[in-house]
Structure 1
Amino acid sequence: MAVAAEVSSADSFAISIAPLSLAKVYELAETPANGALVVMSGTVRDNTEGRAVAYLDYQAYEPMARVVFQQIAQRMRERWTDINRVVIHHRIGRLRVGEISVLVAVGCPHRVEAFTACQYAIDTLKHNAPIWKKEFFLGPDGTESGEWTQGCRVSDLGGSAAGTYS
């Protein structure tokens, strides 16, 4: 029988209306036990399927999103037992092109585990966290139109979100 892993008190989970800091997330994930520290930075791109993006608006059910972040970290520690740190920070509110929307950092003794665990974290977050994104597009005449994108849709954190993780 597998023993459930616990979230480390050194892990960090946040939802913020303020801009996210890559340096701060790196600092939070850093520890002398790491041989690898992988950071994934999600940014607002300038187009979606050829349509010019004006900005994104993120909304979240914050208390539940933090719980989901903790569950993701717990599941990561069950799969990759040598993880030292997990940091998941997500931004909400209006974000312009080029701004950071999400930062995920994973510190491990070895790079393969750090890369794989980080990919698992972002994939699972995108499918499970109650965070919603509305994309606002610029039309040829300068008018803006908004569309909600599909995101949070999987309720079972037990399965892989979008890939196979070893």
Structure 2
Amino acid sequence: MEAIEAVSIRLGGVTQRWRFDRMATVCHPESGRITAAFAGVAKHYAVAVDVCPPRRGNRKGVVEKSNHAAAQRWWRTVTDDTTIEQAQASLDRLCVKLDGRRRRRDGQATTVGALADAEPLRSLPTGSYPAELTEHRIVTPQALVSWRGNQYSVPPGWPGHGDRHPPPGL
């Protein structure tokens, strides 16, 4: 959800429909029915969810090939000393280049950018989706817990324990 939120904010809105592979975080893979947890997400963003049909390589393959281009062709050009901002700017330039390529849709020549312009984004909800994150962490001897590059203090008596296993007597 965090990634969907970040992309939606960066794009400045949401589409009317989202398409997903048959991943367990979105649907029950065997039936393709949306999970109750993800139905709440879709309702929050007011989007319809389309799940790729099983064994339909032409639908899934197009998305996979786009991901392959980004992962294999572009990512390999990013050097070790590139900052996140520089990498994002480089990826943005690639996307603009790819969006300008001519394609045929319904017999007419068009570009991805033109198709995107024809389907404007709807505004984002006023607040983020209310999600609760849970991660198992071990408390250090200094009563600190590391999470996403930061360290947070916890009450005394917790060193060596995880968040699901409180010390005896607490």
Instruction: With the length of structure 2 as denominator, give the TM-score of the two structures.
Output: 0.24
Q: Which structure shows the bigger proportion of residues in strand conformation?
A: 1
More relative contact order, 1 or 2 (CA 8 Å, 6+ apart): 1
**Which is greater in Rg?**
2
Q: Which structure shows the bigger proportion of residues in helix conformation?
A: 2
